[in-house]
Structures are given as C-alpha cells and as structure tokens.
C-alpha cells in the first residue's frame, strides 16, 4: 500500500514561513521545528524532509534571529558538512540569517565545495552565483556599531524592540487576567514587528555603505 500521501512534503517550509509572519504562533510552536533535527528529540531522517526543515529554519531565522539560541543553531551545524549540497547550502542560509555562522569554524571540505544550486530568494529562483558573500566568506552577522547618527538610532530601536519582547514574555508568564494577556500579546507582536523592520533597515544601510553582503 502506498502511504506517501501521509508524508509532510512542504510542511516544514510552510511552517517556517508561518512562524516568520506570526510571532505569537512562533513563541508557542517554534521549538517543534528545531526538534525535527535534534537526535534526542523528534529527529526526522528523511533527506528530502531535512532539506525542507533547514529551509524553514532559515526563513524563520531571517525574521526572528534573536529566537535562534545556541542550542537551536547546534542542530543545524552538522549539516554544514552533509554530503547533500542542498542541505549544506540551506544550513549556511539558516545560520547566516541567525547571525551564528562563524567563518573561522568552517571546515576545509565546506570551503572547497564549489557546487552551485538554485536559491529561492525574494519570491524568485536566483541562478547560481547571483547571491554571494564578499571575500568568499559568509556574513558573520551585522556589525554591532554603525557609524552615522541615523544608524545609531536604528541600533537603539533594535535594543528597544528586544526589550519589548523580553518584557512581553515576562508579563505574559505572570499575567493574572485576560486583559493583561491581550496587552502582552500585542506588546510581543509589536516588538517582533519593530525588530524585523529595524533589522531590515540596518541591513539596507550596511549594503548602501558597502557592507558585508553584496
């Protein structure tokens, strides 16, 4: 009997997209996605599903890099040296979006890999070589400090958004009535939205000023 219809083809990619767009759902369910690559949890060993999970993680990491803890990054790292070039590329994408890709720790095997794959970016399939890192090295996150006053204000906005998110989590944990639950839910959504916009604007300023990613 063919039961292939019961396999969740595309579900991980969809999950990553949903979590990236709904901070409330992400706060409750994002741990499930990372458990799929944890050998001590809900590990999925199907190679094609692993591709989708890594892609979903990368999509989510781009929207909420502050949610990618060291543990969550650790379940992605082993795929940097996977035999499947697609999984390697998707692992790089996920860690890069999370600001947890350290070029100094990459293996010679990975750095020597010249395989080119299509990458779906910005609603389009980008041909091999159209998305590159300056100096042949991946971006290890954004600079902590930006030189202009407007950049300083963006950095302060990012800090404020993260404080809003932390306060929302603390407030919701200790809330005693429905009104407070609504209040902290709105605060959480607003914090993630502001953080997303501020990080995008920071990256735009880096690119404009000859930053790390071209």
Alpha-carbon distance of 29 to 86, in angstroms, equals 26
Residue 28, domain member (yes or no): yes
Q: Is residue 134 scored above 80 in pLDDT?
A: no
Does 116 share its domain with 185?
Answer: no
Given pLDDT bands bounded at 50, 70 and 90, which one contains residue 110? confident
Does 79 share its domain with 177?
Answer: no
Domain count of the fold of the chain: 2
Q: Beta partners for 126? A: 119
Does 60 share its domain with 91?
Answer: yes
Does 26 share its domain with 60?
Answer: yes
**CA quadruple 136, 69, 31, 180: dihedral positive or negative?**
negative
Please tell me the pTM assigned to this model.
0.56
Does 129 share its domain with 153?
Answer: no
More confident residue, 43 or 126: 43
Tell me what percent of the residues of the chain surpass a pLDDT of 90.
1
The Cβ-side half-sphere exposure at 24, using a 13 Å CA radius, reads 10
Q: Is residue 174 scored above 70 in pLDDT?
A: yes
Alpha-carbon distance of 110 to 136, in angstroms, equals 12
Alpha-carbon distance of 131 to 108, in angstroms, equals 21
The model's pLDDT over 13-64, given as tens digits with 9 standing for 90+, comes to 888 888 888 888 888 888 888 888 888 888 888 888 888 889 989 888 888 8
Does 53 share its domain with 28?
Answer: yes
Classify the phi-psi angles of 129: left when phi > 0, otherwise alpha if psi is within -120 to 50, otherwise beta: left
Does 120 share its domain with 81?
Answer: yes
Helix (H, G, I), strand (E, B) or coil at 127: coil
Does 201 share its domain with 124?
Answer: no
Q: Is residue 99 scored above 80 in pLDDT?
A: yes
Mean pLDDT of the chain: 77
Query: Can you give the residue range of the structural domain that contains 170?
Result: 149-208
Q: What pLDDT score does 147 carry? A: 52
Does 129 share its domain with 160?
Answer: no
């Amino acid at each position: 009997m063919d039961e292939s219809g019961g396999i969740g083809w595309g579900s991980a990619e969809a999950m990553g997209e949903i979590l990236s767009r709904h901070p409330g759902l992400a706060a409750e369910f994002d741990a499930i996605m990372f458990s799929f690559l944890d050998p001590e949890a809900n590990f999925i060993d199907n190679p094609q599903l692993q591709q989708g999970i890594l892609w979903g993680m990368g999509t989510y990491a781009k929207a909420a890099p502050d949610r990618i803890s060291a543990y969550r990054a650790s379940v992605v790292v082993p795929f940097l040296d996977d035999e499947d070039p697609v999984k390697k590329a998707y692992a790089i994408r996920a860690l890069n979006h999370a600001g947890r890709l350290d070029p100094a720790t990459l293996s010679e095997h990975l750095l020597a890999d010249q395989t080119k794959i299509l990458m779906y970016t910005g609603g389009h399939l980008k041909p091999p070589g159209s998305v590159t890192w300056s100096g042949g090295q991946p971006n290890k996150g954004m600079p902590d400090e930006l030189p202009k006053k407007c950049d300083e204000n963006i950095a302060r906005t990012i800090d404020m958004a993260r404080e809003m998110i932390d306060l929302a989590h603390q407030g919701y944990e200790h809330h005693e009535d429905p009104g407070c639950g609504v209040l902290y839910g709105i605060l959480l959504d607003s914090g993630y939205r502001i953080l997303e916009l501020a990080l995008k604007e920071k990256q735009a300023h880096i690119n404009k000023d000859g930053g790390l990613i071209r």
